[in-house]
Structure 1
Amino acid sequence: MKSLLERAKVFTDPRAEGFDAEFYYQYYKDLAALKGAELLNHYKSMGIDEGRFKNVKELMADREARYGSLPDDFDRESYKAINKDISKCFAYGWEFDVHYIEFGRSEGRRYKNNLKIKPQYNERGQRRCVYGYRGDGLGTRFLTIIYAKILADMIGFELKYIWQEIGSPFYSSLFQPDKIGDIFLDMQIFSEGGEDRGEFLTSGLLDPSLRILRLDGDLFADMNRESFLELVEGYDVVFYEQPFALLKFMSRETDIASEVKRIWRNIAWSARIEGFIDRTCSTRNIGNAIAIHIRRGDIIKMLVEADVEYLVDGGMVLIFQRFTAMRSVMDAIDKVRVNENILVCSDDSEVVEVLSRKFGVDSVYSSYETNDLTDDQRSAIDIMLLSRAKILISPYISYFSKCAAEVGECKHIPIQLDLPSAVHELIEIADKIPDGRALHVKALVYRTAAGLSSDDEQRAQFLERAEFLEASAASS
């Protein structure tokens, strides 16, 4: 037992100078029951002898002596943003510093948002490039441009994007290369960035002398950036064709969600699009609206006009994935709406009429109110308006809406597939098919719904209707 003199020395011990009670409480979980002066008393009477740290400075000095110093340019906030798997593991800022020293460095974790490296050139002095390409809808094109740009910046390549018309008979000559000025300001993609502003290519014919690496997610997805840079040393072009981060290091080494939004803000839009967006946002409170993206016109056209063989070979499944029944739309709005106005982005005027009858004419407005826009411009404007809304309600599968959600701040609500409602409305549309295809198409609607259903009783009912209609078609 300590004498009174010994105890007096403890409570005047100069080694307690600089004691940080808050740190002491945070770091030593076994002292959770202590508070205030009790923590200092514990350190003086027991902590010093036990070798406990009195403040962050002592802890860091110990860890740096063991594992190496914290880099002078260590950026704690970037470390948290880039390394999302640990961003919510710690409550106190100093814990991230300690984590990097103890584990992060040896694990190869990045601590600075330094995406760009110096420009890379081939042996002929030509800038190496990432070529982005998609031949389908505008949402996938925009996202592919953005993710290809992220990769290009991370490996020191220049971005070029091959812009070709859409490859589908149900989209009337959309995205023709000679109409690129309808959407973009010029042949450069971005409004800033010097030589890295990007460039559109309007010919799909590539120089046969180019050494091209086509990215395969299965082969390259797990490579780190250093290994990938070594791989592309022997190539002039990396071909990028996906509307997402194909290589894991793209999302591991940066706050990719923020980077997607930053790149989107830097796209150089045509004056026509910029003017329309400015006017619309100045007269409509888009930021407090519920935006509805409903695909109807192209889906109905596909159902009515497509060959039965096309519908059998996956076409009808695509229709179910992209078609949204009006009943499902109204139910989704009812679940989230308080008093917000409703912005409708749809080529089907009937959608606006139906929603206006239910929610009031003054509460519903359409992005199609003006008629002096091209189809390409309407598509781009719809994505921009959807991205600025408070809430975005969309078909269950839609890269158009996914793009709007990724580049904006809206809450995205994909409508789950409601088979009974979708079947009911698709059958009503198929009833209007004028030729002998109607029975075949309706039978395929039911048979496809049966294949998509996870409910045994519902599946049996759909199959029964399909078989009845198939028999009727065979006998007619």
Structure 2
Amino acid sequence: MIFKDIDLFDISNQATINIIENNIYLDLSNIKANGHRLNIDNRLVECVRLSSDTITSLNEWMEIINKLEISFDNIEWIEISNKNFILDKSNRIEINLNEKYKIKFIKLNINNKYSNFIDKIKIEILNRKFPGLIVEARSDGFGARFMTILNAMYLSSKLGYKFGIVWPKSSHDQKSLKNLDNNELAGVYEGDEEFIFDKEFLNSYSYLGKISVANILRGETHDINDYLKTPHSENFGYYVSYDITGLQGLDKDYLKEYPKLWKQIKFAKPVNDIIDDINKKTQKYFPNKFIAIHIRAGDAVYDYIRSGLDAYWRKMMPNEIAMALIDENLKINNDIVLLGDDFTQLRELKKFYNNKIYLIEDFIDDTIVGIKRVIFDIVFLSKAKEIYSGASSFAKTASYIGLGKRPTYYFEYFTEDKMIDIIKNYFNKDLNLHPYQKSYSLLFLHNLCLRKNISRDELITILNEGRSYDKDNCAFIIHIFSHYIYLKEYDKADNVLGILFDMPDFDWLYKFMIHRKDSIHIYKTFVAHTLKYSKIKYQNISYMAAKISIDTKLPKNRIFQYIQNYLLGLKINHRSKYLLNYYIDIAEKLNISINQINSQVEITAKNDSYLKSELENKKIDLKNQIDINRSNEILLQNIKSENQKLQKLNADLSLAYNAAKSNAKNYLSYKLGQALIKASKNWYKGGYIKFIFEAIKITKEHKKRCK
């Protein structure tokens, strides 16, 4: 059972219990109303729990219990599946009903062989003390997890629910990127729940192992009162997102409650020690408070997900924006503390500003590393009088628990025109930054300029400069491709797209793009352009169109066409296998087979017995090749993918066969027949594809002569 004993109360002592033969009847109809706000009459039961001192296994319980039935009117009964029977750690059998039924009567049928056990079975009828749980259950970053905990605490307090947390261990602690080209990065740490929270808090609110992880990325946009409707979205209640700003009916100033909620969380001693240390240091060094600038970079600038920067581009803060904020606050003599996940960048900035600014590490002991460092940073950040940041969960959490409001987002603080000027004026200062930082700044600049009246050629120039700092960033290629399409330079678009397929992060980007093609504009545009401009002469566009059409499950005729555009260009390479297999499968389903080509051969040879004999032999040989060599994908593709082209020649073939035999060599039928024989001899070199083009050429020449 998901719920803890402290979440439930037992109403069995108020029930009327009757034992008739091997049945135990429980009448709940007269129980007084004492349930939660959505179950005032106690008719929604969470669980029936059975226990006995002598029964210790699930098999024993299943042997003793024939069935459990429930009823509302004592006339119609519903049998509860034994899939709902679970043995708990105390060897009690739980029959979970999850408040799905209105119940007044319960009947427990005991196997006749065990009728003497009836009086040894203790029955509990358990009801919830509250409508359900509102649960944080993320597995990503520390900030996103804590934002969701605070949201769960707030909503549960407003709606009469209980909040719960699921804080799983994460491989990020060991595997996240912490160093690149001697550039020191913070990495991602979540830690264990036992290290962060005290035991009492976990005993009350942790549902780790009971409720699964659910990384809900969408924000909540429904009405807040929807939480009070049944049935709930989950058996236990609801998962909650880290973003509830879109909830309808939410109090305007709800974030003002978050500093109080933060103080209600009971932390383990190591965390309390960190909080106490920060309180002392901030009071000592910053009695008049300080300005904090949180420069988010980390995985989104350095790791593979940088290829999807268009989805995250305002989450990170470009170095140039940070410098503009530093200069602005130095002019008014504000104390400035820099925080971020690129430690090398922060040290470079302090050096550049001749130690006029502080870094968070100036106040950290050597023992504060890993998850301790994460906690130190977020709590220290919360002590600022103003927090400048991108749309990072880390900075949001700090601002929520310290200031009771959102941080100051730099992209709202500065206008877009101002940010364009800042990037251009501050770019490439005398800072020893990693090239990826410069790459990100230029992609950010491009995305700003894209919203302005700036020529496509200039945008391509910005992208090419950005790509010079990061050759493996797929985002640049996606944008350059789109700009060439808008410029109607389709050959250039096709050529630049060819670079994408061999980039190390292409597979990740492709999956990410397909998943978000309807929610992110650049991906939606890219897919539309790829499908629109799939032509035989644009091989790379055609390949991408074929791949997208398969993975987005477009109609088969469209898939067929995109694949054919690629294969007809004679682009037989390592990518063909994937498309050939799929194409052959479609062809078979559409009944495109060798028999259709055979019918063409029959018509071609019907007036020439010698030619017919030769073609029959070749046809038999060809059929044998297909039967024996089914795995030869190129052969099958050559036959099947060109079938439609062959059918278009039918009319010309029929005319030619009526011509005089004496002049056969001058007639279309003879020339086509000879070309087909030649093709069959060279099938392994793509003879059948070449035959199509040869047949079209012969037919055109014939028509000219007939005029």
Which TM bucket (shorter chain)? 0.5 to 0.7
- 2:205 counterpart (198, 208, 212): 198
Deviations 1:128-168 (A, max 9, x none): 32222223222221121111122223333222212234587
> Secondary structure in 1 aligned to 2:134?
strand
The residue number in structure 2 matching 1:181 is 194
* More deviation, 127-136/345-354: 345-354
1:450 lines up with 2:446 in the alignment? yes
1:463 lines up with 2:467 in the alignment? no
1:106-255 superposed matches below 5 A: 123=45, 124=47, 125-127=126-128, 128-165=132-169, 170=176, 174=188, 179-186=192-199, 188=201, 197-202=204-209, 205=212, 221-222=222-223, 224=225, 228-232=227-231, 236-245=235-244, 248=247, 251-252=250-251
* More deviation, 265-274/404-413: 404-413
Is the 1:446–1:462 Cα contact (8 Å) retained in structure 2? no
Q: Which amino acid aligns with 2:165?
A: Y
Is the 1:182–1:377 Cα contact (8 Å) retained in structure 2? no
The residue number in structure 2 matching 1:4 is none
> TM-score, normalised on structure 1?
0.55
| TM-aligned CA deviation for residue 446 of structure 1 | 5.8
Is the 1:341–1:363 Cα contact (8 Å) retained in structure 2? yes
1:372 lines up with 2:367 in the alignment? yes
* More deviation, 345-354/378-387: 345-354
Provide closer, same or farther for how the CA distance between residues 281 and 151 of structure 1 changes in structure 2, counting only shifts above 3 A: closer
Measured in 2, the distance between the counterparts of 1:176 and 1:320 equals: 23
1:343 lines up with 2:337 in the alignment? yes
CA radius of gyration, larger in? 2
Measured in 2, the distance between the counterparts of 1:365 and 1:409 equals: 21
Is the 1:289–1:389 Cα contact (8 Å) retained in structure 2? yes
- 2:318 counterpart (309, 325, 337): 325
Is the 1:447–1:462 Cα contact (8 Å) retained in structure 2? no
> Secondary structure in 2 aligned to 1:284?
helix
Measured in 2, the distance between the counterparts of 1:261 and 1:183 equals: 18
Is the 2:389–2:410 Cα contact (8 Å) retained in structure 1? yes
Provide closer, same or farther for how the CA distance between residues 246 and 334 of structure 1 changes in structure 2, counting only shifts above 3 A: closer
1:273-352 superposed matches below 5 A: 273-285=271-283, 286=286, 288-302=289-303, 306=304, 311-312=306-307, 315-318=308-311, 320-337=313-330, 338-352=332-346
> Secondary structure in 2 aligned to 1:457?
coil
> Secondary structure in 2 aligned to 1:392?
strand
Measured in 2, the distance between the counterparts of 1:319 and 1:248 equals: 23
The residue number in structure 2 matching 1:403 is 397
Q: Give the gaps of 5 or more residues in structure 2.
A: 1-35, 48-125, 179-186, 468-476, 478-491, 503-707
The residue number in structure 2 matching 1:84 is none
Measured in 2, the distance between the counterparts of 1:355 and 1:216 equals: 35
Provide closer, same or farther for how the CA distance between residues 284 and 451 of structure 1 changes in structure 2, counting only shifts above 3 A: closer
Provide closer, same or farther for how the CA distance between residues 343 and 300 of structure 1 changes in structure 2, counting only shifts above 3 A: same
> TM-score, normalised on structure 2?
0.39
Number of aligned residues: 326
Provide closer, same or farther for how the CA distance between residues 370 and 425 of structure 1 changes in structure 2, counting only shifts above 3 A: farther
Provide closer, same or farther for how the CA distance between residues 448 and 153 of structure 1 changes in structure 2, counting only shifts above 3 A: closer
Provide closer, same or farther for how the CA distance between residues 463 and 153 of structure 1 changes in structure 2, counting only shifts above 3 A: same
Measured in 1, the distance between the counterparts of 2:464 and 2:454 equals: 16
Provide closer, same or farther for how the CA distance between residues 347 and 451 of structure 1 changes in structure 2, counting only shifts above 3 A: closer
- 2:384 counterpart (386, 389, 392): 389
Measured in 2, the distance between the counterparts of 1:300 and 1:205 equals: 30
Measured in 1, the distance between the counterparts of 2:289 and 2:163 equals: 35
Q: Give the gaps of 5 or more residues in structure 1.
A: 1-116, 190-194, 207-211, 434-440
The residue number in structure 1 matching 2:60 is none
Measured in 1, the distance between the counterparts of 2:433 and 2:281 equals: 36
Q: Which amino acid aligns with 1:152?
A: S
Is the 2:133–2:237 Cα contact (8 Å) retained in structure 1? yes
Measured in 2, the distance between the counterparts of 1:291 and 1:215 equals: 27
> Secondary structure in 2 aligned to 1:201?
coil
Measured in 1, the distance between the counterparts of 2:227 and 2:384 equals: 38
Is the 1:295–1:346 Cα contact (8 Å) retained in structure 2? yes
Provide closer, same or farther for how the CA distance between residues 161 and 126 of structure 1 changes in structure 2, counting only shifts above 3 A: farther
Provide closer, same or farther for how the CA distance between residues 410 and 293 of structure 1 changes in structure 2, counting only shifts above 3 A: farther
Give aligned-pair identity as a percent: 19
Is the 2:232–2:238 Cα contact (8 Å) retained in structure 1? no
Measured in 2, the distance between the counterparts of 1:466 and 1:239 equals: 44
Q: Which amino acid aligns with 1:364?
A: Y
Measured in 2, the distance between the counterparts of 1:299 and 1:420 equals: 24
Measured in 1, the distance between the counterparts of 2:233 and 2:458 equals: 59
Measured in 1, the distance between the counterparts of 2:464 and 2:347 equals: 36
Is the 1:140–1:243 Cα contact (8 Å) retained in structure 2? yes
- 2:409 counterpart (410, 414, 438): 414
Q: Which amino acid aligns with 2:197?
A: F
Measured in 2, the distance between the counterparts of 1:323 and 1:247 equals: 22
Deviations 1:28-48 (A, max 9, x none): xxxxxxxxxxxxxxxxxxxxx
Is the 1:130–1:152 Cα contact (8 Å) retained in structure 2? yes
Q: Which amino acid aligns with 1:377?
A: K
- 1:270 counterpart (252, 268, 271): 268
Is the 2:136–2:164 Cα contact (8 Å) retained in structure 1? yes
> Secondary structure in 2 aligned to 1:154?
helix
Measured in 2, the distance between the counterparts of 1:432 and 1:335 equals: 26
- Greater relative contact order, per chain length (Cα 8 Å cut-off, separation 6+): 1
Q: Which amino acid aligns with 1:333?
A: I
Alignment RMSD: 4.5
Deviations 1:369-416 (A, max 9, x none): 323234222222222111111121212x21211222222228832222
Provide closer, same or farther for how the CA distance between residues 223 and 391 of structure 1 changes in structure 2, counting only shifts above 3 A: closer
Measured in 1, the distance between the counterparts of 2:224 and 2:408 equals: 33
| TM-aligned CA deviation for residue 202 of structure 1 | 4.8
| TM-aligned CA deviation for residue 316 of structure 1 | 2.2
Measured in 1, the distance between the counterparts of 2:151 and 2:353 equals: 39
Is the 1:390–1:409 Cα contact (8 Å) retained in structure 2? yes
